[in-house]
Amino acid sequence: MFLARNEGTVVATVKHATLAGCRFLIARRVEADGSLAEEPNIVVDWHGAGVGSTVIVSTDGDIARERFGNTTPARMVVAGLVDAVQISTFREMVNA
């Protein structure tokens, strides 16, 4: 799993039958320093993430197979919408 920012959507009129009606997002991974990865990923979303929102992306494919069946080609799906992120550094945790 990783955090990503929704940069937009993809429209695909022709797609695998198991993905009929799915919404596809262009998502860029959020790195540990808060920067965005250069290469975008296409992820399946049924939660309704808005452009600019931060999402949790699952990469193992189990969620996609549960929802769309064992023959789906989808692997990356939005597993949740992020409200806030709080990060403590190791030094802060040791000194607490």
pLDDT recorded at residue 33: 87
- Dihedral pair phi/psi, residue 72, rounded to 5°: -70, 140
What's the half-sphere exposure (Cβ side, CA atoms, 13 Å) at 66?
A: 8
3-state secondary structure of 65: helix
How many domains does the chain divide into? 1
pLDDT in tens, 14-59: 999 999 989 999 999 999 888 999 999 999 999 999 999 999 999 9
Helix (H) or strand (E) holding 88: none
Note the pTM of the prediction, 2 decimals. 0.84
CATH number of the structural domain spanning residue 57: 2.40.50.220
Cα separation, 53 vs 69, whole angstroms:
27
CA 21 vs CA 15, 29, 46, 60, 93: distances in Å: 10, 24, 9, 21, 45
User: Residue 62's domain spans which residues?
Assistant: 2-95
